[in-house]
Amino acid sequence: MKREPKVPVDAKVLVNQYVSQCELLRRACIGFDEGNDVEALNIALRLRVLLHDTGNSKSLLGQLQIKDRLPYVDTLRAEMPEPVISIGSGLCLIEATLGPGSSGSRYKAPLAAEDPYRQHPPQAFVDWWREHLLASNSGKSVSRADFVLWLTNEAGGAHVDPSHEPAHLELSSGGFDGLQVVSDNEVDHNLLYPTVRQIAYELETSLSNSVAFEEGEIVLVDPICSLPIDSKLKLGRNDQCPCGSGKKYKLCFLKRRPRRKISIEELYAEMDAAV
Ligand SMILES: [Zn+2]
C-alpha cells in the first residue's frame, strides 16, 4: 500500500499539542508525587516529546521555535570542593530515615527546595540538556539527556530495549555513589526516577516563567541567548550577537554567567552564618 505524502500542520495545531503535552506531563508528575513511581516512565516520555530532536523526529518545543531560546531553570547542586561530602547526587537529594524499623535511605527529587547551592542563572538548552550531572562508577559523565533517554528508549517509556547502557544499569540499582542502601524496596534504590521528576520540575518552572500566549501564539518573555556557554567568540561588545536574537553581544551572550561554584572558604562562612 502506497503512503500518501504528509501535510504540514498549522501553528494552531502545534499550540494545542503543546497544551496537551504539558497537561500529560503535569498529570504524570502528580501521580509520581502521590507515590506511583512508574509514572517516571510517563514523565520521561513527555520530556522526550517536548525536548528531544533526532534525525527522524523533531521535538515539539523545537517545532514551536522556543526550545533553543527558553531560559532553563537549573537546580543541580553546586560542586562542593573536597573534602566536603555533598548531601545529594546530581539533581537528587538523599533522604535517610533513622531508628528501628526505618526504611533506610532513598533518592528524592528536591523540587523547589530552598537550597542556596541549587540556585543558578538559567541555562541555554544545549548547556542544560547535556550538562554533567554526575559520573557513574565507570567514569561516564551522565547528563539530563541520558536519564530521559534511558527511561524512554531502554526502560519502557516509549520502547523496551533488550540491552541497556552499563551506566543505566548501574544507576538504576542500589549501592551507587557510596550510598549504603538498607531498604528492601527496589524502587527506593533508583536514582533515575527522582532525577527525571526533578528535570520535569525544572522544565515546568522554565515554561511557566517564560512562556506567554499572544493571539493564540506562543511567545517567550525575556528569551536567553541560545549559544553554548563555552562558545569561543571574537566580537566587539556592541556587535550583533551571532545567535540571531537581534540584541547586542554585550546584552545577550555576555549577560549569561556560568553555573555557581563555591570555594571551601565561602562554604564554611555560609555554614557559620546559618547557625
Ligand atoms: Zn545571543
**Ranges of each domain in the chain:** 11-226
- For residue 270, the number of C-alpha atoms closer than 13 Å in the C-beta half-sphere is 10
Cα–Cα distance for residue pair 48/50, rounded to 1 Å = 5
Question: Among 68, 49, 58, which residue's Cα sits nearest to residue 224?
Answer: 68
243 alpha carbon to ligand 1 midpoint, in Å? 4
227 alpha carbon to ligand 1 midpoint, in Å? 6
Cα–Cα distance for residue pair 51/260, rounded to 1 Å = 25
User: What residues sit around ligand 1, an ion, with C-beta below 5 angstroms?
Assistant: 225, 241, 243, 245, 252-253
C-beta of residue 198 within 8 angstroms of C-beta of residue 144: no
Q: How confident is the model at residue 86 (pLDDT cuts 50, 70, 90)?
A: low
- Is pLDDT of 68 > 80? yes
Q: pTM of the predicted model, to two decimals?
A: 0.86
Q: Give the torsion through C-alpha atoms of 33, 124, 71, 233, to 10 deg.
A: 160
192 alpha carbon to ligand 1 midpoint, in Å? 33
244 alpha carbon to ligand 1 midpoint, in Å? 7
**pLDDT tens digits, 135-190:** 887 888 999 999 999 999 999 999 999 999 999 988 887 545 444 444 444 445 57
242 alpha carbon to ligand 1 midpoint, in Å? 6
